[in-house]
Chains A and B, each alone.
Chain A
Amino acid sequence: MTTRYRIHLSMQYKFDQPVAAGRQLLRLSPASIPGLQQVVSRRVTIRPKAHERRSFTDFFGTQVVEVVLPTGQTEINYDMLAEVICTGESDSFDLSAPLADLAGQIAVVTSLASGSPHHFLVPSPRVPLVRDIADFARDVTQGAVTAREAVVALGLALHEALAFDDQATDVDTPIDIAFGGRHGVCQDFSQIMISGLRSLGIPAAYVSGFLRTLPPPGQKKLQGADAMHAWVRAWTGGEAGWVDYDPTNACFANRDHVVIGYGRDYSDAAPVVGMLRMGGAQTSGHAVDVEEI
């Protein structure tokens, strides 16, 4: 069985003053990932028309659109429309390595391909090792024997400990601050979990994507109610490989999760890099619709 989605993302930036030309990198469209999802079509539309535009695939396999916008804009819009077939099944068996064996299993992977666990074991620009997070991770995974058990234990514990609060943090809030306040959004949940997993010796990656949200029973789904989302990918051994876990919702990633791309942390996978920051003079908004077809 497969599920087929039409995904529409619309982002808008408004400026009080006309802004100078900017070069930006957009990571907005889903990726084709063997065994997980297949992209049927994808298109990114930019208004005003970009002065320069090209696409490339980054190190981690994400489709990147590079644009240069003309000067003097007061409004910029990005629209992404894609059709994706999701084929992934989440494993219900635990084939992951015992925690005690994980280091040995990592060491025998002699690869630097983008899916190699080695990229995701050491601190990265946005995910330093934080003692408080490491202590927390160690405490809540005391009983875990396998890597997968540790992933679930940490994910559940973070889900309970952290309050979802989209006013408490912004995209640049460091993880130790977010963790200290015990609050944040999916980006904070994920990066805190990544830091915790790495402190346990479990390779962990950041996943950027879309989440389909289902309306409460009996209600009609609202337009734009879906969201850009982030979750975690953990490497749990040579046999089980990667498992995707969503700490914001305390579940393994499932058919409702559509992947844009992977990275060591948000800095590798940010949807938009290079947007001018102009203090209070800028407003932005985005809306996502993930529609099953």
Chain B
Amino acid sequence: MSGDTLGSYRTLDGVPDEFMDDMGQIRPVWQRFASYLDGLSPSERAAHLARADQYLLDSGVFYRQYGRDQSAERPWPLSHIPLLIDEAEWRELTAGLFQRADLLEALMADLYGPNRLVADGKLPPELVAGNREWLRPMVGLHPRSGYFLHFLAFELGRGPDGKWWVLADRTQAPSGAGYALENRVATSRAFSELYARQNVYRLAGFFRSFRDTLTSLRSEKDGRVAILTPGPLNETYFEHAYIARYLGFNLVQGEDLAVDRGSLMVRTVSGLRPVDVLWRRLDGSYADPLELDHSSRLGTPGMVSALRAGGFTMVNALGSGVLETRAFMAFLPKLAESLTGRPLDLPNIATWWCGDPVAREAVQCTADRMILSPAMAWGLPIEADGAQVRAGELTPGDLAERLEREGRALVAQEAVTLSTTPALVDGTLQPRPFALRVFLARTASGWSILPGGFARIGASPDPAAINMQNGGSAADVWIVSRNPVREDSMLPSATPSDRRVTFGALPSRSADNLFWLGRYIERTEGVIRLLRSYHARLAETGDPDNPQLNAMLPLLTAHGVDPAQGIPEGLLSSIEAAIATAGQVRDRFSPDAWSALDDIQRTATRMATRVTPGDDAARACSKLLRKMAGITGLVHENMYRAMGWRFLSIGRLHERAMGMAQMLAVLSDPQAPEGALDLAIELGDSQLTHRRRFTVSTSRATVIDLLALDPLNPRSLRHQIDALREVIDSLPDANDHGALSPVAKAALRLYTALAVAEPEDMTPEVLLRLREEIGALSTLLTGAYL
């Protein structure tokens, strides 16, 4: 044995373990993995695990952690050791889950339909009528697709008897499938040699068939499928963006959508376009402020009305959150018999609704094993939310009194015990409790299951500690076959359904964010350039009152930048604005570009604490400029040249044109101090060109010619305007058989003004007027597209 990785593995007393049986033998499904892991030296192993961490870091996988007053993005806590499950066991589990999914569908159809279960006394009416997730406006609405439920998750645990139990049903807007994919990529990188040889079922097929299903739910060929997210502040927004990018669907927020004559529409740069299928990652009650929660700011007025009109398919139907009610667990075993005709193959955690006298008696008899919690709760029984009470901790008298008084609002559940699975703790494998989240999707041929999932691993041996908000971590799940499995990469393959997705019209909000992202990136670069020249001159002259420095001040203060600070606040806030804007369009953003932005923010923030004005700041700015060049390349040059790229480009050209017009107006002013023209050439990054084109020294005419009017100089005003005009002409409805839109006309006017101008025409006043006209383009664009 090369390390002591496995040697010290001891299961916990009385707790079943996935890896090792009671006799201390490694279970068959794990043997290959164990010997592989054991064969690695500690340094080899560290290098392997680092590959996974590097992947997660590079792709910027995060989740949002909520603190007392604020929330923050946290790196993804991967537990490197996957959970291994044997194919035969998995198959049995799958059959039980499919039955449960059918049961939930039938229950949903009854709750929003005839309500026979309540009428027949099989379900207490108060658990429905008093349930905030039972959405009255949805009663009587039949889903257009014929089904209420299309995508489900289940939280599973293995009990002390070795059998799997359902701990919770996730029917509202289940999250985690995207994280399961990321866990898989990371883990398979760490153990790539083994992963290639182990017969592990691949995940891509599940997503592909669900994507095809969503696409097939459209009523028209040109209808869109979109994913509805609450937005970047949501705990799992990363996943929403990730799934949208992975499946090639638009990611939209409530304000992007509108209802028009019973149809759901998305606001795009080409006007309103129909959305035919909406996969919602937003809780149902927020979906429509008119008919559901009136205080919702995340929804779309008229959403329910469009559903009533059969205008689109909602996945899952609004109101499906009711199925997650904890008290329902007490009734599902019996309901299974009435609704599916047979008992549950896969039991759920034993639950008693204390409104029933028989249940109250049972709870009192076995009080020491029972946890009391609210009947109307929707979270997991393992996530301690402060409302749980151990029944055994109350005196029998107090318990009886409490059950009698509050019974109808309480459920009792058997205290959850979870089996353990190995996790690496300080370099050795240790058993840790886990819960397994699995995912089901409805396809044309019935339910299908993601062969894998998402295991939440406890931070300590206490089962209550698996919650990620409390320090738990996540592991990949490998379903291991005894035979070779079909290779099915997650990378785009050539199967018919994987053919190029045609890009739908760009949502207006995305266009707006891309436009501003372009502006912020360009602004940041411009400010750094200014600062560098400022500090280089300061270092040369050692005189903060030097006239050239004073001449630059208005350019800096225009951006809220105070050069007395080495790396000023104004620069940091410009970078922050770029990141916040990029965060809004994360689904359109490559992970590399994201980490480059993140990198420059960290670098600049670090520099701000110690960089001093003068030479130190000038060198820091040079470093930042090099990093900016990287971002520009990644964001701009690697982006697909679709509509989004155009708006990003417009933002960038627009900002650069405004900056250049202002800089020239200030520095070419006849009142400007000596050397201002050279400074302009330097800020315009055009020293070499100037020297080559004009052998004479700088004059007002040569500087204006090169920086304002030369179409071939990529930094000149003319060049920005030419490019702006070209991009604007390619926007929707810009040029309708020669009839120009207002924004296209404005761009043409600017273009013409510059094309016919002579250097002597370009007085500071004319330059400032041009700058205003360029500014007005932004207003016109917003009016037309955003």
Contacts and interface: CB of A to CB of B under 8 A. Distances in A.
A125 B289 CA distance: 13
A283 interface: no
Given A56-B308, A59-B136, A112 B291 contact: no
Contact of B129 (A22, A116, A267): A116
Nearest to B123: A110
A119 B129 contact: yes
A218 to B, nearest CB: 45
Nearest to B135: A59
B120 A23 contact: no
Contact of A274 (B120, B139, B301): B301
Contact of A125 (B118, B119, B294): B294
B118 A110 contact: yes
B137 interface: yes
B139 A109 contact: no
Contacts of A68: 302
B261 interface: yes
A264 B121 CA distance: 24
Interface residues of A, number: 25
Contacts of A54: 305
B261 A125 contact: no
Contacts of B118: 110-112
A23 B129 contact: no
Interface range for B: 20 to 34
Interface in A77-131: 109-112, 116, 118-119, 121-122, 125
Contacts of A22: 301
B323 interface: no
Contacts of B291: 25
A166 interface: no
B617 interface: no
B294 A112 contact: no
Contacts of B260: 52
Nearest to B302: A23
A58 B141 CA distance: 12
A58 B137 contact: yes
- Output the residue of A22, A111, A112 with the most chain B CB within 10 A: A112
A23 B259 contact: yes
B254 to A, nearest CB: 13
Interface string B106-119: 00000000010011
A256 interface: no
A282 B567 CA distance: 47
A273 B121 contact: no
B294 A121 contact: no
A75 interface: no
Contacts of A291: none
Nearest to A66: B305
Contacts of A59: 136-137, 139
Interface in B90-146: 115, 118-121, 125-126, 128-130, 136-137, 139
A59 B290 CA distance: 14
A274 B290 contact: yes
B401 interface: no
B294 A110 contact: no
B274 to A, nearest CB: 16
Interface string A194-211: 000000000000000000
B293 interface: yes
Contacts, number: 60
Contacts of A24: 290
A125 B291 CA distance: 13
Contacts of B128: 112, 118
A40 B290 CA distance: 29
A112 B290 contact: no
Contacts of B119: 110-112
Interface string B316-357: 000000000000000000000000000000000000000000
A25 B120 CA distance: 35
Nearest to B115: A112
Nearest to B111: A112
Nearest to B128: A112
Contacts of B136: 58-60
A142 B511 CA distance: 64
Interface in B522-574: none
Nearest to A58: B137
Contacts of A56: 308
Nearest to B138: A59
Contact of A109 (B115, B120, B125, B305): B125
A125 to B, nearest CB: 7
Nearest to A114: B136
Given A121-B130, A274-B290, A116 B125 contact: yes
A66 B137 CA distance: 14
Nearest to A21: B258
Interface in A245-286: 267, 273-274
Contacts of B130: 118, 121-122
Nearest to B409: A122
B125 A118 contact: yes
Contacts of A119: 129
Contacts of B129: 112, 116, 118-119, 121-122
A25 B292 CA distance: 12
A109 B129 CA distance: 12
B290 A110 contact: no
Nearest to B261: A52
- Output the residue of B121, B128, B260, B301 with the most chain A CB within 10 A: B301
A52 B130 CA distance: 34
- Output the residue of B125, B294, B301 with the most chain A CB within 10 A: B125
Nearest to A203: B129
A52 to B, nearest CB: 6
Contacts of B126: 118, 121-122
Contacts of A110: 118-121, 125
Given A66-B302, A111-B119, 4 more contacts: A52-B261, A112-B118, A122-B129, A273-B290
Interface of B: 115, 118-121, 125-126, 128-130, 136-137, 139, 259-261, 289-291, 293-294, 301-302, 305, 308
Interface of A: 22-25, 52, 54, 56, 58-60, 66, 68, 109-112, 116, 118-119, 121-122, 125, 267, 273-274
Q: Which 7 A-B pairs have the closest CB atoms?
A: A118-B129, A59-B136, A122-B130, A118-B125, A23-B301, A112-B115, A119-B129
30 contacts: A22-B301, A23-B259, A23-B301, A25-B290, A25-B291, A52-B261, A54-B305, A59-B137, A60-B136, A66-B302, A66-B305, A109-B125, A110-B119, A110-B121, A110-B125, A111-B115, A111-B118, A111-B119, A112-B125, A112-B129, A116-B129, A118-B125, A118-B128, A119-B129, A121-B126, A121-B129, A122-B129, A125-B293, A267-B294, A274-B301
